[in-house]
Copies of this chain bind each other. A is one copy, B any other.
């Protein structure tokens, strides 16, 4: 049951179409949602909040990272042949950038994130997300595979 190297985990993670985002709420409880994402450079991960009714941009994941920036993201592949199981994890820190951010660099970072997401997901080209983006800096890549070479999804 070998651990993946950092590079292997990074590569397997980046190849996936969906990841799960864990944050921690102000009461110290974990919170989980799936998310589509794009990699930005070596250790960046970006995700966006879709168009939502007015109330929704105050999503729990955003409230959580405002208080506790630590996040964990997981990609995994299940197979009934357990020799083919693998997962890759990214642990890091997150911050939210809103469309009306005062800082010009932040607004640039948001535009870059949206461009990376649109490049990866054709779905975003038709309907670009108009909410905030979440920028994640990965401090640690890790992963595991039952045996052999991991297969990437999609």
Contact = CB atoms under 8 A, between A and B. Distances in A.
Contacts of A30: 22-24, 30, 70-72
A123 B33 CA distance: 28
Contacts of A73: 32
A85 B34 CA distance: 10
How many copies of the chain does the oligomer comprise? Answer: 2
Contacts of A125: none
B72 A34 contact: no
B68 A28 contact: yes
B22 A31 contact: yes
Contact of A34 (B24, B76, B123): B76
30 contacts: A18-B78, A20-B22, A20-B74, A22-B22, A22-B30, A22-B31, A24-B24, A24-B28, A24-B29, A24-B30, A28-B28, A28-B68, A28-B70, A29-B68, A29-B70, A29-B72, A29-B91, A30-B71, A30-B72, A31-B72, A32-B32, A32-B72, A32-B73, A33-B74, A33-B87, A33-B89, A34-B76, A34-B78, A34-B85, A82-B123
Interface of A: 17-18, 20, 22-24, 28-34, 68, 70-74, 76, 78, 80, 82, 85, 87, 89, 91, 123, 154
Among all A-B residue pairs, the 3 with the closest Cβ atoms: A22-B30, A18-B78, A34-B76
